[in-house]
Chain A
Amino acid sequence: MRLTDRDEEFRAFYFSHAPRLRGIALLMTGDPSRAEELAQEALLKAYRAWPRIRRDDPGPYIRSTLVNLCRNDYRRRLLERKRAAHAPEAVGADDAKVVEAMRVADALRALPPIRKAVIVLRYYEDLPEAEIARILDRPLNTVKSDIRRALQTLRLLLQEGAANR
């Protein structure tokens, strides 16, 4: 298909999805500039794959791609953090929503990336469990236990946080 035709179709997809993807990546990484890069990379991949994915709903494809990118990024960061203690950047985020997302991301830091992805898709994206299982290619029961355990971890942390105060 011609690039101009592809653009026409992809344009709508871009406008409806770009902000959502940034939101997911921000919750996964806690870093606005990296979230922007990862979302952009996922969109570029979707653009290249467009002739193949356009017929079905491209939403799950791009979410799956984005989550994989975030997990790879996490792995890379794991190394960097080991090399030099890396303080989370306090970027001058003036948007209240971004600040709140960064705070939530901070609370999610105790979770392994895959569980992070599961609960971001569940609560931020408001997706049903079956859909999450499909996106992450994970058994439905595992997704259910992921959610349960992730919430347990978060509750525990909240209590600890309260107790320390």
Chain B
Amino acid sequence: MTPEDRMRKLGSTREGTPSEAEWTAFAAKAHLSVTRRRMAAAIGGLVTCLVVVAGAYAVTGNPVGDQQSPGPAGSPTQTASPSPDAPSTEAEPSPESDPTVAVQQWFFQGEQMTVFYEEVPQTETPATMAMRYLLAGQPQSAGAQTYIPNGVDLLDLSIKDGIATVDLSSEFEEANLGSSFAGAHIAQVTYTLTQYPTVDGVIFEIEGERVGTKDRPFGSHGLVMEKPQTRAEWDSLLAPIVVESPYPGQTVDWTFDLFGIANVYEATVSWTISDAEGNIVKEGFSTATCGSGCWGTFEDRISIERQVDTELVLEVFQASAEDGSPMSVVQIPLNFVE
């Protein structure tokens, strides 16, 4: 019997009906997921208002209603408990149409900071959205860790002349980090906000007060950050290779741009594209602007022939100085247009 006949047969037999118990369990889970989203929407609304007051429109984006965000891990202080009849703000993005935007979030993987992406519905100014996802601290990707304490609220965010001023609740300062990770949470926020071209540096405030000055050092390590924090200040925490584009799961054309940050041997960043079986479809390398001990950016335009299989994996790595074996490998599954 052919596979299609077997499928037909499977499809035409009646399935067992779910039990009442299954439904009850499902309904409980479903209620929870709706209420959580409503909470998140309520909190999101609050943050949006503050941001609107501050006039942070420097980053393009349309702050519209219909907020949606992941349930923030720790915002237990918010007492807004919307009635079950609140207007349905939990609308799910329809599978195809609603505009989504990929947001960078910088987290740690082991001892090194790297970038993670989340495709989220575009609901408000991108920088605010990125901060909210970062503070929620629950990246969907496995293995990501955050040094931002639980329950930090975004009180305000404004962007002017390339400088973002971010006001966070006091929990942010209470991070208990070892000396080698002092400021790891500052680095996460700095990288996350500087993903936008309109932001070069970040100034930190805690509960409305500028911190990191000589008179008011920041946190238990007494960090002084007189100047706005930029990416360069925190690059020592980065993984040897960080790929900013493309991101995992992205749909790309058969010609696409690769770029990122690296500190690799002889500034040489290698890449391969392979299929599900591990066969290499194409390989190449790019030279970073700096290497062997300093951080540089790299970019390459990759062009491959159209394949039958449109789901391929891009791997970016450095060849070890000793035997040329791949090191610091970054894997990015891609979806090519059909």
Question: A residues touching B (Cβ–Cβ < 8 Å)?
Answer: 1-3, 7, 10-11, 14-15, 18-20, 22-23, 27, 40, 43-49, 51-52, 61, 64-65, 68, 71-72, 74-76, 78-79, 81-82, 97, 100-101, 103-104, 107-108, 112-114, 119-120, 122-126, 137, 142, 151, 154-155, 158
The answer to whether A125 and B11 touch across the interface, beta carbons within 8 angstroms, is yes
The answer to whether B13 and A78 touch across the interface, beta carbons within 8 angstroms, is no
Please report the C-alpha to C-alpha distance between residue A43 and residue B10 in the assembled complex, in whole angstroms.
Answer: 22
Q: How far is the CB of A165 from chain B (nearest CB, A)?
A: 16
The answer to whether A158 and B18 touch across the interface, beta carbons within 8 angstroms, is no
The answer to whether B6 and A45 touch across the interface, beta carbons within 8 angstroms, is no
The answer to whether A79 and B333 touch across the interface, beta carbons within 8 angstroms, is yes
The reply to whether the CB of B301 lies closer than 8 angstroms to some CB of chain A is no
Q: Which of B7, B248, B335, B338 has the most CB of A within 10 A?
A: B7
The answer to whether B34 and A3 touch across the interface, beta carbons within 8 angstroms, is yes
The reply to whether the CB of B276 lies closer than 8 angstroms to some CB of chain A is yes
Number of residues on chain B facing chain A (CB within 8 A)? 46
Please report the C-alpha to C-alpha distance between residue A61 and residue B95 in the assembled complex, in whole angstroms.
Answer: 7
Chain A to chain B contacts (Cβ below 8 Å), 25 pairs: A10-B30, A19-B15, A20-B15, A43-B30, A44-B30, A47-B30, A48-B91, A51-B88, A52-B92, A61-B94, A75-B333, A75-B335, A79-B248, A79-B331, A82-B313, A82-B331, A97-B10, A97-B13, A112-B309, A113-B311, A119-B7, A120-B7, A123-B7, A124-B11, A154-B3
The answer to whether A100 and B6 touch across the interface, beta carbons within 8 angstroms, is yes
Q: Which of the 9-residue segments B21-29, B70-78, B173-181, B188-196 touches chain A?
A: B21-29
Instruction: Kindly identify, within residues 287 to 338 of chain B, every residue whose CB is under 8 Å from any CB belonging to chain A.
Output: 308-311, 313, 331, 333, 335, 338
Q: Which residue of B lies closest to A80 (CB)?
A: B142
Q: How far is the CB of B330 from chain A (nearest CB, A)?
A: 11
Q: Which residues from B are CB-within-8-Å of A158?
A: 2-3
The answer to whether B249 and A75 touch across the interface, beta carbons within 8 angstroms, is yes
Q: How far is the CB of B309 from chain A (nearest CB, A)?
A: 5
Knowing that A46-B92, A104-B10, A124-B10 touch, tell me 4 more A-B residue pairs with CB under 8 angstroms: A11-B27, A61-B95, A79-B313, A154-B4
Q: How far is the CB of B118 from chain A (nearest CB, A)?
A: 13
Q: Which residue of A lies closest to B31 (CB)?
A: A3
Q: Which residue of B lies closest to A123 (CB)?
A: B7
Q: Which of B4, B8, B23, B249 has the most CB of A within 10 A?
A: B4
| Contact status of A82 and B278, CB under 8 A, knowing A61-B95, A65-B95, A108-B3 | yes
Q: Which residues from B are CB-within-8-Å of A122?
A: 4
Residue of A7, A40, A76 near B27 (CB, 8 A) is: A7
Q: How far is the CB of A45 from chain B (nearest CB, A)?
A: 5
Please report the C-alpha to C-alpha distance between residue A52 and residue B84 in the assembled complex, in whole angstroms.
Answer: 16
Q: Which residues from A are CB-within-8-Å of B95?
A: 61, 64-65, 68, 137
Q: Which residues from A are CB-within-8-Å of B85?
A: 2
Please report the C-alpha to C-alpha distance between residue A74 and residue B16 in the assembled complex, in whole angstroms.
Answer: 27
Q: How far is the CB of A158 from chain B (nearest CB, A)?
A: 7
The answer to whether A14 and B17 touch across the interface, beta carbons within 8 angstroms, is no
Q: Which residues from A are CB-within-8-Å of B12?
A: 126
The answer to whether A112 and B311 touch across the interface, beta carbons within 8 angstroms, is yes
The reply to whether the CB of B167 lies closer than 8 angstroms to some CB of chain A is no
Q: How far is the CB of B157 from chain A (nearest CB, A)?
A: 28
The answer to whether A137 and B10 touch across the interface, beta carbons within 8 angstroms, is no
Instruction: Kindly identify, within residues 157 to 215 of chain B, every residue whose CB is under 8 Å from any CB belonging to chain A.
Output: none
Q: Which residue of A lies closest to B8 (CB)?
A: A123
The reply to whether the CB of B255 lies closer than 8 angstroms to some CB of chain A is no
Q: How far is the CB of A59 from chain B (nearest CB, A)?
A: 13
Q: How far is the CB of B190 from chain A (nearest CB, A)?
A: 28
The answer to whether B91 and A52 touch across the interface, beta carbons within 8 angstroms, is yes
Q: B83-104 toward A: CB 8 Å interface, digit per residue (1/0)?
A: 0110010111011100000000
| Contact status of A81 and B84, CB under 8 A, knowing A49-B92, A49-B94, A97-B13 | no
Q: How far is the CB of B257 from chain A (nearest CB, A)?
A: 20
Q: Which residue of A lies closest to B332 (CB)?
A: A79
Q: Which residue of A lies closest to B22 (CB)?
A: A18
The reply to whether the CB of B132 lies closer than 8 angstroms to some CB of chain A is no
